[in-house]
């Protein structure tokens, strides 16, 4: 744990599975795959993910999502 600023509880940092960039939820660019929701930094990354999600995450949703 780095910092624990209790400013906004709903602010969650997740990793864009396509480019690896850290993005902050809630985001506009989202996609659901294998019952998991993923967030992206841009529509471009989202489109890439939607085109072939299995290239970025395991179909069982085992990819780290924190
Ligand atoms: Zn991205």
pLDDT of residue 29: 95
Taking the model in full, what pTM does it have? 0.70
- Give residue 42 CA to ligand 1 midpoint distance, Å: 6
Each residue of 4-45: pLDDT tens digit?
655 556 678 999 999 999 998 878 999 999 888 899 999 999
Cβ pair 11, 25 in contact under 8 A: yes
**pLDDT band at 64; cut points 50, 70, 90:** low
- Give residue 20 CA to ligand 1 midpoint distance, Å: 7
- Give residue 27 CA to ligand 1 midpoint distance, Å: 12
Q: Compute how many other C-beta atoms are within 10 angstroms of the C-beta atom of residue 22.
A: 9
| Helix%, strand%, coil% for the chain, nearest 5 | 20, 25, 60
Q: Could you tell me the sign of the dihedral formed by the alpha carbons of 41, 34, 61, 66, in that order?
A: positive
- Give residue 4 CA to ligand 1 midpoint distance, Å: 25
pLDDT of residue 18: 96
Cβ pair 23, 16 in contact under 8 A: yes
């Amino acid at each position: 744990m780095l910092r624990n600023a209790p400013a906004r509880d709903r602010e969650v940092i997740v990793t864009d599975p396509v480019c690896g960039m850290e993005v902050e939820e809630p985001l506009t660019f989202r996609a659901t795959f294998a019952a998991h929701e993923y967030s992206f930094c841009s529509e471009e990354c989202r489109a890439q993910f939607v085109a072939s999600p299995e290239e970025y995450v395991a179909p069982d949703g085992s990819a780290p999502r924190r």
